[in-house]
Amino acid sequence: MPPETAPASNPTGPDEAPAALVLMGGGARTAYQAGVLHALSTLLSLQGGVANQRFPFQILVGTSAGALNATFLASHASEGLQAFGQLASFWSTLHSSQVYKLKVPAWIRSSRIAAALLLSQQVRAQQSLLDNTPLIDTLHRVISLSRIDLALQNRTLRALAVTASSYSSGVHWTFCQMAADRQAALWSRPGRRAEFQPITIEHLMASSALPFLFPSTPLWVDGHREFFGDGSMRQSSPLSPAVHLGASKVLVIGVGQPERAGFTGNGPSVSGRPTLGAIAGHAMASVFQDTLQADVEQTQRISKTMHQMPREIAALMPYRPVDVLAIAPSQSLDALAQAHAGELPASTYNALAGLGALGAKSSPGGAALASYLLFEPGFVKALMALGEHDAYARRDELLTFFSPAFGRAGGG
């Protein structure tokens, strides 16, 4: 995959070093992002001064549940740093019943074969395992779309972008909302395209439609209707939208981890065949994480090379460097999910137990699938606490990222 670099000119405005926030997907795991950002708001607030109270990102890019976080922040951006506190408050009170519904009998947990047959019948009947209509009501309640437009018009924000993957064409689409007088050039690459559209709840439902778990959502592109699923699928270059929209520096928060619990060591997942739940969790982890690390590393390498060039030579290049700071969990979210699995709604718990998707004590990786569905306060607050811990551990890097000299001196 060729690296994505930024055009030499900034088509979206005169800002010296516009900062972008890229939020990756991961279902309930994305509560971790709320913790990182809440800590970031505290760090910036302690710096004092009016400038450090403003909303620090001009470009917001989100995928899957990360798109929900990005759009929530866009609707609160005019409140400055308080937007991050609002996001943390939202996650702290969230429950699975506000995201999805699942009705299965209690006996389903007693037989994996029966569980697989019953759940497969349900998938065939409604084209998904879960009913996510509660999420529609939740998003309408907490996100004001009109306030997004206001933040764009008053230039608190430069752009909001949400990604989704088309089941109809296989193309990965980025939907961009910008003020009419600041629109950047759209892009079209093999397998991925962009289009200007006001972001709606339908875009968020499409971007967060976890494969097999949530139903596809129809959207209009190029004048016709296509059906979309989770934006993490076929996402070959997660940083690309931020780069194309003019970012000079990018903070990206993922929710994966380099080595997942249960796929190393001497647990049952190594010595015996993995359960269906363990396979599903591994597949989900691949969807949500694999391309991010490679994209970040490529962008950092190119930027470092350009920063080391003499200015005269760098000025002749058709690209400019983009500095990237990436943050991801320092601990296993699989193990964390396993510790909180008992908080799941009874029907979800029974279904996952029937599929062997809650893991054994010696194999927390088997609980990976549960970690995407655990929208419950105990797990959410543990994720947010981990996010705050990881952000404070990288305090100096975060504060340097927002230093005016960062984009000129190099970072990431």
Q: Tell me: the pLDDT tens digits for 68-113? A: 999 999 999 999 999 999 999 999 999 999 999 887 666 666 556 6
Instruction: Find the catalytic residue in 41, 64, 237, 371.
Output: 64
**Which carries the bigger pLDDT value, residue 239 or residue 279?**
239
For this structure, is 137 an active site residue? no
Residue 272: pLDDT band by 50, 70, 90 thresholds?
A: low
Helix runs in 178-310, H state only: 201-207, 240-244, 268-271, 276-308
Run of H or E residues at 327: strand 323-327
Task: For the chain, state the CA radius of gyration.
Answer: 21
The pLDDT > 70 percentage for the chain reads 71
Q: In sequence order, what are the residues at sequence separation of 6 or more whose Cβ sits closer than 8 angstroms to the Cβ of residue 345?
A: 96, 97, 102
Candidate list 149, 166, 230, 240, residue with the active-site label: 230
Q: Are strands 59-63 and 224-229 parallel, antiparallel or unpaired?
A: unpaired
Average pLDDT of the chain to the nearest whole number? 81
Annotated catalytic, 230?
yes
